[in-house]
Amino acid sequence: MTDEPAFDLEYRPFSLPLTTPLETASGSIGSRDGFLVRITRHSDGAVGYGEATPLPGWTESHENCAAALERAQRTIRTRNAREALAAVDEAVAARHGVSLALADLEASSESTPLYRYFSPNSLVARVPVNTTIGDRSVDESVTAARRAVDRGFGCCKLKVGRRSVDEDIERVRRVREAVGPGVELRADANGAWSYDEAVSAIEAFADIDVSIVEQPLPAGALEGHAELRGNGVAIALDEGLLEHGVDAICEAQAADVVAIKPMALGGLDIAQQVTAWIAELDITPLVTTTIDGVVARTGATHLAASIPNLPACGLATGELLAEDLGRDPVLLENGSAVVPQAKGLGVEGVWEE
Ligand SMILES: O=C(O)CCC(=O)c1ccccc1C(=O)O
Ligand SMILES: [Mg+2]
């Protein structure tokens, strides 16, 4: 006798334009195109939501994501949830979508907020977040930083690396002058610099009190990043994590900080394991989105809430979108994301809208 399949999985495409394209050293992000995932349990009609939002260079392509979701759908309809997760294979964004929908469903049926499903018995009200400022002109960067600080942000992350190092130093200096000494400033070069450029940038950034520089060198460079450490600005790897994994980074002593992107790692469950391992190795994790819709963003916020003592995280990216999948359950207040305490993700009405 064969067991009746326990779940159904549906998915639909979406396209979310940004209000202004996010300019980075590795390209411009103008819209986020992905799939909303809904998993339904036949026995009681319980549902969970997930989001698969591929980003070229970070995940599988849009096309491969759709193909992986198709395989997951076929597998969950004929087999079971575990095999459906396996059927997405290497497609990290698709795996993110399927695993998030399952986790939302499970946590909701247990009447537990998602972060407590990952970290039972914890109670977390808020997680600190940074604002994300694209690589634009000095004036635009200063205006964006001022506006964020006026709205309560205590940390601004500036994208850098599209112009000369001297111009970036000047730009970051002008932002520092505008926001004053009390605001944390970070820079993210998305792998744009040569070693010598990174050395000059870091020397000046130390002076301007930039706390972290993310991915100054290309993803392949581990030794170079190791050598950049200890000069007054913490070195964070982001692309480098996907390229090398935690153990190689630790072995090469290549990072003070590692950025965790659940969409690029294949889901919150995997991101949780990676984060726990990073923290165990005395590297500081921070959680960031890939500029996702409200479902994935809220998932990343729950992940951040499940990890103690995180620095400001790159979760305030909903502000960059001109449209979203539904109402945002995560309020931003005084530089922190207020963690939803409703069951599951706490995202409502996304399938209907
Ligand atoms: O960390 C943040 O502030 C937001 C996320 C972010 O910067 C980002 C968004 C999409 C793709 C890459 C990156 C990145 O951190 O490099
Ligand atoms: Mg980065």
For 110-147, the pLDDT digits (tens) are 999 999 999 998 999 999 999 999 999 999 999 999 99
Residue 4's pLDDT band (cuts 50, 70, 90): confident
- Residue 349 placed within a domain: no
Q: Which domain holds residue 30?
A: 7-111
Nearest to 35 by CA among 52, 59, 17, 50: 52
Answer yes or no: 261 catalytic: yes
Report whether pLDDT(2) > 60: no
From 59, 317, 332, the mutation candidate for ligand 1 (largest count of ligand atoms within 8 A of CB) is: 317
- The per-residue pLDDT for range 270-321, each reduced to its tens digit, is 999 999 999 999 999 999 999 999 999 999 999 999 999 999 999 999 999 9
- Ligand of minimum distance to the alpha carbon of 257: 2
pLDDT (average), residues 73-101: 97
CATH of the domain at 20: 3.30.390.10
Q: How many domains does the chain have?
A: 2
Angle at 101 between CA 100 and CA 104, to 5 degrees: 80
Query: Which residue positions form the known binding site for Mg(2+)?
Result: 188, 214, 238
Q: Are residues 185 and 271 in the same domain?
A: yes
For residue 1, the model assigns a pLDDT of 46
Adjacency order of strands within the sheet including 27-41: 7-24, 27-41, 47-52
Tell me the average pLDDT of the chain: 97
In this predicted complex, what is the ipTM? 0.99
Q: Which helix (H) or strand (E) holds 338?
A: strand 336-338
- Decide: helix, strand or coil at residue 198: helix
Closest CA to 50 of 75, 64, 69, 23: 69
134 with 215, same domain? yes
Q: Looking at the predicted structure, is the pLDDT value of residue 352 above 90?
A: no
Judgement on whether residues 98 and 132 belong to the same structural domain of the protein: no
Per-residue pLDDT reduced to its tens digit, 173-224: 999 999 999 999 999 999 999 999 999 999 999 999 999 999 999 999 999 9
DSSP-based three-state secondary structure for 138:
helix
Same-domain check for residues 208 and 327:
yes
Give the pTM: 0.97
Q: Are residues 142 and 102 in the same domain?
A: no
Give the pLDDT band of residue 25 (cuts 50, 70, 90). Answer: very high
State how far the Cα of 131 lies from the Cα of 129, in Å rounded to an integer.
7
pLDDT at residue 353, as a whole number: 62
* 157 is a catalytic site residue: no
Backbone angles phi, psi at 324, to 5 degrees: -140, 175
Residues near ligand 1 (Cβ within 6 A): 55, 130, 132, 157, 188, 190, 238, 259, 288-291, 314, 317
Contact 53, 290 (CB under 8 A): yes
Question: Residue 9's closest CA among 90, 93, 68?
Answer: 68
| Whether residues 70 and 147 fall in one domain | no
Helices (H) and strands (E) in the chain, counts: 12, 13
* Angle subtended by helix axes 165-179 and 195-207, to nearest 10: 20
DSSP letter for each residue of 280-299: HTT-EEEEB-SS--HHHHHH
| Identity of residue 352 | E
- pLDDT the model gives residue 5: 87
- Determine the Cα–Cα distance for residues 322 and 31; give it in Å rounded to an integer: 9
Portion of the chain with pLDDT greater than 70, in percent: 99
Residue 345 lies in a domain: no
Closest CA to 13 of 57, 87, 91, 69: 69
In a domain, 223, yes or no: yes
Residues in a beta bridge with 18? 321
Pull the structure tokens for residue 140. Answer: 């635009």
Q: Cα 186 from chain centroid?
A: 16
